[in-house]
Structure formats: structure tokens, C-alpha cells
Amino acid sequence: MTQPTPTTVSLIGVPMDLGGNRRGVDMGPSAFRLAGIEEGIRSLGLEFVDRGDIPVQTPKSRVPLDPTAKFLPEIAEACGLLSDEVRKALDEGHFPLVVGGDHSIAVGTVAGVVEHVHAQDGRIGVIWFDAHADMNTPETTESGNVHGMPLAAITGSGPSALTQLSGQVPMVDSARVAMIGIRDVDRAEAESVRDSDVACFTMREVDERGIRAVMEQAIAHVTRGTVGFHLSFDVDGTDPSVCPGVGTPVEGGLTYREAHTVMEMAAASGALISLELVEINPILDTKNRTAVAAKDFALSALGKTILHTIRPSDRG
């Protein structure tokens, strides 16, 4: 289903570093703004609204109360606030562009989209671009880091503080989820992926079939029976040579052009409802390269192409 072309993009920052074990991703939204996202969006003929940053509570101690789901109360609180802000943006007819922060914020982003769409009796799909599957639960995790759990929560598994955030469990049926770029999966997590209905396109499939064929199948998968899809883009899905400023780099990721193809095809589908970019870590970066690349990827998702900007008449 083709979504109405947005005329206004709402930027929502989530300076959260509680979901992982590396500090620095809380500065991701600031780095993204410094990379020139407002100027880039306005150059596409779109309006831009910066809704500021979601407040994230600082835990009283950096020693987590629950080692199997570290800092869960603080993460759930921030995700609840994010959900409200995303829904408000959509209710106003804006396109939500959420920037983190670690990948645990995806629970809040998706919850907000689901609440907005569910109020209209609709369902959404999700494309999960990442080196990791993020389908651990407190029972399967090896680290206790919640940024390895958001897709499990979105599809109905894990702590109730996350799974019930939208009031709809699961928020998204696993049969309407597609992973792209996966290449680093825990053993128990791999079983969860295999036992689910998620369409998983590993890096081997990207290498063998090409990113265009993979994206065509992924988009078809997540738009079947839905009003559109959310794209959750972890910059570590690209190769570290493209985005070096990440906390969990994994060699062998997508190239710069392949990542742009993902975004360009998402835009051309006419079904993209919302976008988030996560795990930008300026502390580990070089001259803000990762935030600049993320900004360029976002502009491609908003319609920028090599020769022109996608207009409503260009879409099917």
C-alpha cells in the first residue's frame, strides 16, 4: 500500500546508552544533527521539525539490578516517552525520523507507530537492518544487554515492560518482519530466529543474490497485509569501513552503495511509514564519518536519488 508522501519530517533524538556495554551512543543524536540533517532535508523540498531529545533517566548506579536485562526500568520509561512522541508526529501527518542511541529504542519507536496505525485498524511490517538479530530475551542472553532484545520484544517475547508498551502483543507479527545483513547471532538466539516466521536475509544471501533481489523480497514480505513498514537501521549493518563509529562492529557488512540501495528502494516502495537510525557512537568514530553516512542514508530513505528526488508521481 502506498503511503501519503510526507511534507514534514520530525526528528526525534533518543540519547540512550543503557542498552549496550559501550558508552558514547548517547551522543549519536547530536552528531547526527551536526552532520547537517536539517539542511539535507530542506534541500529535498521537505519541511523539518526538530522535536528535541527524549529524556533518559540516569540510573542511580551503573551496576544493574537485573544482570539478565540491564537497566530495564530506565529503558522502558524512555521507550514509553518515545512511543508517545512518535505517535504524535504521525497523528500530525509528519514522517518520524528517530535517531539513537542504542537499538533498544526501537521498542518505543515501533510501539508509537503501531498505536497510530492500530487506531485506524491497520497493521505494519518491519525491516530490521542490522549485523545482529536482536532476538534475545533475558532467558537466552549472554550479556544481559537490552539492545540485543528489541526485535524479540516487538514480536512478543521478553519482559512485559517492553512487550506491552503499545498495548498490543505482539506489536508486529513475526511473519511481517524481515532482517537484512545478519551475520553475528548468538546460538540460543539463532534457534529463536529459526523457530519464528521472520524472513532472515543473512550476509551470505546478500552476497549470493544481491541487495536488490533481497530488498524486493523483503519489501514484498513486510507489505503483505499491512499498511506499510517501519525501517529500523542499525549502522553496524554496514561494513566497519563505511561506519567505523559503532560499539559492536562486525566485518563483512554491506557497502556504502548497498546501504543506499536499501534506503532508495524503501523510499521508492511508497510504503515506508517511519525510519530510525541507531548505534552511532561519536567516541569511536573518525571525523564524524558515521553520523555523516547515517545522514546520507536517511536522505536516500526520504527520496534523494543520484539524479533527482522521488516525487509522488514517480511512485507506483
Active site (annotated) includes residue 191: no
Active site (annotated) includes residue 103: yes
Angle, CA of 219, 222 and 226, to the nearest 5°: 120
Q: Which of 147, 221, 230, 260 is catalytic?
A: 147
Q: Are 85 and 113 in contact (CB under 8 A)?
A: no
Q: Which of 102, 264, 276, 279 is catalytic?
A: 279
Active site (annotated) includes residue 130: yes
Nearest to 33 by CA among 52, 56, 20: 52
Q: What count of other Cβ atoms lies within 10 Å of the Cβ of residue 207?
A: 12
Q: Which of 102, 130, 173, 239 is catalytic?
A: 130
Active site (annotated) includes residue 260: no
The DSSP-derived string for 132-148 is B-----TTT-SS--GGG
Q: Which of 94, 116, 132, 260 is catalytic?
A: 132
Q: Which of 115, 134, 173, 184 is catalytic?
A: 134
Nearest to 128 by CA among 109, 151, 157: 151
CA dihedral 204, 209, 215, 216 (to 10 degrees): -150
Active site (annotated) includes residue 184: no
Q: Which of 17, 102, 103, 184 is catalytic?
A: 103
Bridge partner residues of 125 (DSSP): 229
Active site (annotated) includes residue 50: no
Q: Which of 17, 102, 173, 234 is catalytic?
A: 234
The residues annotated as belonging to the active site are: 103, 130, 132, 134, 147, 234, 236, 279
